[in-house]
Each structure stands twice: as C-alpha cells, then as structure tokens.
Amino acid sequence: VSTRRLDSIDSIDHLSGQLTVGSGATLGDVQRHAAAAGWEYGVDLAARDTATIGGTVATNAGGIRVIANGMTRAQLVGIEAVLADGSVISHLGGMLKDNTGYDLASLLCGSEGTLGIITAVRLRLHRPAGATSVGFIGVSSYADALSLVEVARSGGARVLAAEILDETSMDRVCEAFNLPWPFRARVPYALLFELADGGDGSGFENLAEHPAVLGDLVVALQARDRERLWEYREKQAEAFSELGVFHNLDVSVPLPRLAECAEQLRAQAAAMPGVIAYGVFGHLADGNLHVAIVDGDPDSYAVDRAVLECVARFEGSISAEHGVGRVKAAELHLCRTPAEIGAMRSIKAALDPAGLMNPGVIFS
Ligand code: LAC
Ligand code: ZN
C-alpha cells in the first residue's frame, strides 16, 4: 500500500498553530510549508525529503530535534486512519485538550502499520527558534560530552541539537566524502551542538571555558558553514553503508548509564572477529546511540544480538527511534515485560483479529 498520493497540505491555522496534512506529504514539504508561513515543524531528520509524514507518524520518528521538541508523538494532535475492518477513525478537530477516552492518535503513532493505515494527521507547529549557531567541540569521553550537554542546557541559549561522533565514525565520514578533519588536532569524540542563540555564537561562550573542552572549538554562524558541520553527522549512515551491508543498530540508554554502555559497545565492536568498520554515534542528549558495524558477513545476526543484549544489561531500549520491525521482533522481551507484551498483543488482536496489518512486525 502506498500513501504517496495522499499528499495534501492544508493552509496553516494561525490561531491554534496547527496544520492538517495527508500522510503522503514528505517531511520536507511540511517543514517548508510551515516555514513559509512563519512557523516551524518540530521534527527533522536526514531523510526529510523521502520520508512521508504518515511514515514518520507510524514509526514515531525521532531525529535531531528531539531534545528541543520531543518525538513525532509530541507533535500529533489528531489522526485519521483506516482500520483493518474498513472503518475510518477521524479526529482532526485540533483540540489540544481532549480527554474523551483513549488517545488513538498516540496509539497509532509508533504502531509501525500494525493497527491501521494512517491517511491524515493534525500537527502542532512551533514558533521558529530564530537564528542558530552550530559548534563542534572535541572531548575525551562520552562522560565529558554529557557534562557539556548539562552545561549547555542550563545556559541561556536553547539547545536544538546535541549529537556525538566517535573517532571511528569521524574517520569513516571523512574518508567516504573526502571531508577534512574539522579540528587542528585529533580528538577521540566530537560533540555537535546547535544553539538558538541569535546566530552570533554567544551560546558557546559558557562552553568554551569548560575544562571538558579538548583543544579547539569550531563555531559556524553562516548557513553554509552550519550545513558543513552537520554533514559529518548526517552522512554517517551513507558513509558506513558504502562499505557493504552494515549492521545499523539504534538503541537508547538512560543518561546516567550512557557513557559506560557506549564504551562497552565500542570495545565489543572492536573485538568482534571480521569487523571492517564500526562507530557509536548519535543523538547524545536523547540517550540515543546509533551503533554502526560493518563486517564480512552481513547476514550474521550475532553482531546485532550482541549489541541489543549489551543495551538490555544497561536497562536501555533496543530501538530508540527506528522501531522494532521484523528484525528485532524476537528481541522485544529484552526491554518489555511479559505483561507489557501481553497488553500490546491484546490491542493488536482487538483491532486486527485476522492479522492483516503488517504481519510479523513488532511481535514474532
Ligand atoms: C540518524 C538516523 C539514521 O540519526 O536515525 O542518522
Ligand atoms: Zn537517528
């Protein structure tokens, strides 16, 4: 089923700061539509021009603005969807306050197509953050990077993004896209911040003096320079995939345990036989790590399982933003209790008793 032709985008309701869009419109189209009218859509990710809004809602997409705006579910005010029995549920009136029973929009959001097909959504918009600065900071550990996130969050400028790249992912993207190493000296980790500081770099003042900053601080004020710094982060998946089929894990860990878990994931990847390249990078402030591992045997699931089991030991989630899908369905028990999985199965059975909707996804 393709929803691509359901691509209508209504005019913006300036009174409520909301917008109704068909599920086939791309994320990029919605972002541009909102921006042209002086608003901002709260979700952004590298696949903005191919991802449909319906897809981002069905998967509760995260991305690079979660620290500022929350995930897709936090943008959702209402939903229209077709259920397995052919009934249409439609609740697009845009009431922010509406406690009449279960929140079906939230339920369908992140259900990965297992409960129904989303046809339209009502989204809340944000006031634009204004001009921003992007900074790249060298640090010597995940723990130091987290201390800088804390400093940044308690400073004056709003943090719009806080991303981390380890040395191996930096080397990979530099090699794949022929990018220069962005610092004068090599650093074990690079931390990328985007701050809503009026675009003059003032948001980085309280960070620059912090003892956790290793070497130089690179700050970009112009749009082209900001994009240039973002390239190191946004091109990671592409950089690893050009080496072959790669194991692309997407996990999250409670922030107090993130540093230790990330170090174990790196050590574990480095010690795996046959590994050609690896990196542990991602949306640091969300506790969301992307673990990229390329090995000689792309079909081997042992690599994935080792990562997911490590994360489970730290009481993390085996899918922070990409979803469970079919690949991780057998591993759901690593981060959900039998009671939780039982409740989810009951919902699935009630709404889709014949199992028509995306069979095999979420539940093995
Ligand atoms: C990223 C996507 C793949 O953050 O989740 O690069
Ligand atoms: Zn991501």
In this prediction the pTM is: 0.94
Atom of ligand 1 nearest to the CA of 62: 5
Residues 61 and 158: beta-carbon distance below 8 Å: no
Residue 136 burial class via C-beta count within 10 angstroms: exposed 0-12, middle 13-18, buried 19 and up = buried
Element (H, E) at 81: strand 76-83
CA 237 to centroid of ligand 1, rounded, Å: 7
Closest ligand to Cα 288: 2
Residue ID of nearest Cα to ligand 1 atom 3 = 237
- Ligand 1, atom 5, lies closest to the CA of 63
Q: Which residues contact 83 (CB under 8 A, 6 or more apart)?
A: 89, 115, 116, 351, 352
The rounded Å distance from CA 174 to ligand 1 centre is 17
Index of the ligand 1 atom closest to the CA of residue 234: 6
Q: Which helix (H) or strand (E) holds 76?
A: strand 76-83
In whole angstroms, what is the distance from residue 144 CA to residue 14 CA? 42
Only one residue has tokens 């999250």, namely: 252
Q: Please state, in angstroms and rounded to a whole number, the distance separating the CA atoms of residues 330 and 344.
A: 15
What's the gap in Å between 183 CA and the centre of ligand 1?
23
3-state SS assignment for residue 109: coil
Please state, as a whole number, how many other Cβ atoms lie within 10 Å of the Cβ of residue 116.
Answer: 25
The one-letter amino acid code at 219 reads V
Q: How far, in whole angstroms, is CA 318 from its chain's centroid?
A: 13
Q: How far is the CA of 290 from the centre of ligand 1 (A)?
A: 7
If you measure from the C-alpha of residue 85 to the centroid of ligand 2, how many angstroms do you get, rounded to a whole number?
Answer: 34
| Ligand 2 mean position, distance from CA 61 (Å) | 9
Tell me how far the alpha carbon of residue 345 lies from the centroid of ligand 1, in angstroms: 28
What tens-digit pLDDT sequence spans the chain (364 residues)? 999 999 999 999 999 999 999 999 999 999 999 999 999 999 999 899 999 999 999 999 999 999 999 999 999 999 999 999 999 999 999 999 999 999 999 999 999 999 999 999 999 999 999 999 999 999 999 999 999 999 999 988 999 999 999 999 999 999 999 999 999 999 999 999 999 999 999 999 999 999 999 988 999 999 999 999 999 999 999 999 999 878 999 999 999 999 999 999 999 999 998 899 999 999 999 999 999 999 877 678 889 999 999 999 999 999 999 999 999 999 999 999 999 999 999 999 999 999 999 999 999 8
Residues flanking ligand 1, CB < 6 Å: 46, 236-237, 290, 321
From 27, 45, 246, 247, give the residue whose CB has the most ligand 1 atoms within 8 Å, as the site to mutate.
45
How far apart, in whole angstroms, are the C-alpha atoms of residue 2 and residue 326?
19
Ligand whose nearest atom lies closest to the CA of 292: 1
Q: Which atom of ligand 1 is nearest to the CA of 282?
A: 4
How far, CA to CA in Å, does 198 sit from each of 128, 150, 207, 300?
11, 20, 16, 48
Residue 216 is predicted with a pLDDT of 85
List all residues 6 or more positions away from 7 whose beta carbon is below 8 Å from its beta carbon.
22, 24, 25, 26, 29
